[in-house]
Amino acid sequence: MAEIMTRLVRLASPVTAAILGALVLAEIIATLVLEGLDHQLTWSLALIEPSALLIFAGVGVVVARHQPRNPVGWVLIVFGVLILLAVAAGLYAVLCYRLGHRGLPLAAAAVVLAPAAAWPAFALIPLAIFLFPDGQLSRPWRWVLWAFSGLYVYEWAVNVAPPVAAVAGNHVRLDSSGRLTDTSDLTGWLVHPPGWLTAAVIAAVGCIWLSFVGRQVLSWRHAAGEHRQQLKWLAFGAAIALGVGVVASELASGLISEILATGLVALPVGIGVGILKYRLYDIDRIISRTVAYAMLTGVLVGVYAGLVLLATQVFQFHSTVAVAVATLAAAALFTPLRHRVQRLVDRRFNRARYDADMIVAAFAAGLKDAVDLDSVRDDLASVVQKALEPTHVSVWTRTQVSSLQPAPPLPSGLVGAASPNQPPSQSPSREPS
């Protein structure tokens, strides 16, 4: 076992990460070529999906090159490799079985390879969340990981068995993406497992997914400093991926759905930034801005729609006039609403900045009546310490020192005194009588 682990550590190197990154690029090119041969190439398939997978794998390559022993980077790379392999295999199977090119080599292998590569990839995303940020696990969580792996091995076998049986029986019917369309004549326990077992496995997998999330939530509650900021990046990326990439894209349709689906890339980006610890202190500001502008957009859309309906349905205005009035009203409300919503969100999600703004505002208000330079200097140092929390504060002030020059000597025959700031006074001279 020690020898196997040593070999795995040697394989986990920046060179291996670069090789796998090049493999992802080659798979993207092969996928685009196969889509063209299958007459399925569209601009969304040529641009959106390859770009998203390239971001997943690219973040993994960057993490793996900087931290080769961190398994999260390798999980993201392998996810991109397996998904692209499954897509390419399905397109190749379509070319062989649907378009009549049965003489091409490895046609049967492509039918089996499509689900065989896709199902392990589906297990890698929750695994990346589970292992974030450094892949270190305690012994109880290792047993959970083994249970998760066993359940997915069963799911993998159930989904690979039908294409294996179809190829063995020479009864392959595929849809346009390379999935089997008819398995009614196939027999076997794995091809048609009992419903209760399938439901139990799905429920168990769902519970383990929730335990992965619960582990990170508990870790966040007990974390502090840099680790807490890392977990905030993970939560932010997961929230965008789930809310925009999954929920919003399912509710929309057509081109809008495809564009919203790109929100899934927020997860690997959040994971990569959290692991590489790049400007972690900005996450509070990013979260507060995202939440604030989401709330502001919802409020303005509601005001706009309400004004349009009110003007057209109640007051019977012309639709063009109603739209213009609603647009002007939404534009006028943008700035005051943004300030109010931002202050409300900062109090909850960016408390440090909110407190700093309050401290600076109080200092500025008190500065109007301050006349003592020493008190102003002390107050300024205190404000900087509270707002920014630096390790050291120094306040330098520039003072003007006036040099005193000695008075010139009095000439003989003159009577008087000279001060440093006044010219010497002259007494009138008397002529001798």
Same domain, 166 and 261: yes
pLDDT band at 415 (very low <50, low <70, confident <90, very high): very low
| Residue 342 belongs to some domain of the structure | yes
How far apart, in whole angstroms, are the C-alpha atoms of residue 137 and residue 219? 12
Name the more confident of 75 and 48: 75
Contact assessment for residue 40 and residue 176, using Cβ atoms and an 8 Å cutoff: yes
Same domain, 8 and 122: yes
Same domain, 370 and 308: no
Residue 130 DSSP SS3? helix
Same domain, 333 and 369: no
Burial group, residue 373, by CB count within 10 angstroms (0-12, 13-18, 19+): exposed
Percent of the chain predicted with pLDDT > 90? 11
Same domain, 83 and 139: yes
Same domain, 377 and 244: no
Whether 366 has a pLDDT exceeding 60, the answer reads yes
Same domain, 299 and 246: no
- Average pLDDT of the residues of the chain: 77
Least confident span in 74-83, 282-291, 418-427: 418-427
CA distances from residue 351 to 211, 215, 389 in whole angstroms, order as listed: 29, 25, 14
Same domain, 142 and 197: yes
Contact assessment for residue 81 and residue 20, using Cβ atoms and an 8 Å cutoff: yes
Residue 337 structural domain: 287-349
Whether 285 has a pLDDT exceeding 80, the answer reads no
pLDDT at 404: 45
> Got the DSSP string for 215-270?
HHHHHHHH--THHHHHHHHHHHHHHHIIIIIIIIHHHS-HHHHHHHHGGGGHHHHH
| Residue 356 belongs to some domain of the structure | no
Q: Kindly state the average pLDDT of the residues 137-148.
A: 87
pLDDT at 76: 93
Structurally, the chain folds into a number of domains equal to 3
How far apart, in whole angstroms, are the C-alpha atoms of residue 12 and residue 118? 23
How do residues 174-200 score in pLDDT, each as one tens digit? 887 778 876 666 666 667 778 888 889
Same domain, 259 and 329: no
Question: Can you list the positions of beta strands (E) in 326-415?
Answer: none
Q: Of 219, 225, 55, 242, which is closest to residue 133 (Cα–Cα)?
A: 219
